[in-house]
Amino acid sequence: MKSRLLLIACLLFLVWLNTARGQNAIDSTSVILRVELSSGNEFYGPIARQDSLHIVIQDQKLGEVSIPRNQIKKMEVLEKAAMVNGTIWLMNPQSTRYFWAPNGYGLKTGEGYYQNVWVLYNQFSVGVTNNFSLGAGMIPLFFFAGTSTPVWLIPKISLPVVKDKFNVGMGAIIGTVIGETNTGFGIVYGVTTFGNRNNNVNLGLGYGYAAGDWAKSPLINLSAMARTGPRGYLVTDNYFIGIGDQTVAILSAGGRTIVRNSAGIDYGLIFPISADIGEFIAIPWLGITIPFGTKANLQNSPASPLNK
């Protein structure tokens, strides 16, 4: 038990070092485009120059590409992207969460994401304002011969204390099981997050309840993420739960890979540890996060920088 806790502490320390060194790793303010042609080809890069007939972008693979405007099917600014040493780094599609635990960052107004874990776990959240988000989730067990189905709401408030360095948040999971009586469950929590959206360490404290009874001991969460490159993150998400006279630890280690259209795939291993578990157990974790929200088609927008 102690050796595994030491291992996770070392991992968190390495993440913290990477955070301290990498606070300004993504600092480009260039406008980065995704241009889709009628032929189906796509190009990504900042604007090099443009006129009434062509847009020239600096594609990260092909260099300067001159694109006739009459061949463009769709064109949009990738707000969640930046140029780092000539390479496009897509932003974290789920920067407000680790594998499961929330942090102090929040969704912006109109932003949202859908998260699925091992097919059955489904959850989505939407930014109502820049500081408040609301979501819901369910495990649709009713597909299996009408089995009772857990559902929940997830309100969350996020407040920046020092921009891109220190955020706090608070929220709750408020759930019940459809098909059963007296099955309310949930958690109320607070979190503090040190670092930016790409590299951070998070400490959370929460109290759970079920069927009207509150836990006597808090749930402690210690999580972190670190950017490793244009599309990758290291992620660790860890919980310490007091049950009776012992503490159960649920540790995890893995990664997040950003794929096409900024979706994120999470993968890793979960390690439950307690005095009653006499052997090493590793449970695989596999999830996907798909961001959503209104994306403007900028080809004909007079306010767009593309039409200057």
Same domain for 140 and 69: no
Residue 298 forms part of a structural domain = no
Residue 308 forms part of a structural domain = no
Residue 303 forms part of a structural domain = no
Same domain for 97 and 83: no
Same domain for 179 and 65: no
**Comparing 109-113, 202-206, 256-260, which segment has the lowest mean pLDDT?**
256-260
- The pLDDT value given to residue 302: 34
Mean pLDDT computed over 6-18: 55
Is residue 102 predicted with pLDDT exceeding 90? yes
Whole-Å CA distances, 145 to 176, 226, 287: 19, 42, 25
pLDDT, tens digit, 9 for 90 and up, residues 193-228: 999 999 999 999 999 999 889 998 999 999 999 999
Same domain for 121 and 46: no
Q: Are 280 and 270 in contact (CB under 8 A)?
A: no
Total domain count, the chain? 2
Same domain for 109 and 10: yes
The CATH number given to whatever domain includes residue 102 is 2.40.160.40
Same domain for 163 and 117: yes
Is residue 26 predicted with pLDDT exceeding 60? no
Is residue 135 predicted with pLDDT exceeding 80? yes
Same domain for 268 and 202: yes
Mean pLDDT computed over 139-160: 90
Is residue 305 predicted with pLDDT exceeding 50? no
Residue 140 forms part of a structural domain = yes
The CATH number given to whatever domain includes residue 51 is 2.30.30.100
- The pLDDT value given to residue 295: 47
**Comparing 54-68, 110-124, 145-159, 173-187, which segment has the lowest mean pLDDT?**
54-68
Residue 299 forms part of a structural domain = no
Same domain for 45 and 14: no
Same domain for 36 and 17: no
Mean pLDDT computed over 89-116: 92
Give the largest Cα separation in the chain, rounded: 73
Tell me which residue range forms the domain holding 46. Answer: 32-90
Q: Per the structure block, which two tokens stand in for 58? A: 């600096």
pLDDT, tens digit, 9 for 90 and up, residues 261-272: 678 999 999 999
- The pLDDT value given to residue 261: 62
Same domain for 108 and 59: no
- Euclidean distance between CA atoms 175 and 277, whole angstroms: 29
**Class of residue 211 by CB neighbours under 10 A (exposed 0-12, middle 13-18, buried 19+):** exposed
Mean pLDDT computed over 136-148: 85
Same domain for 271 and 165: yes
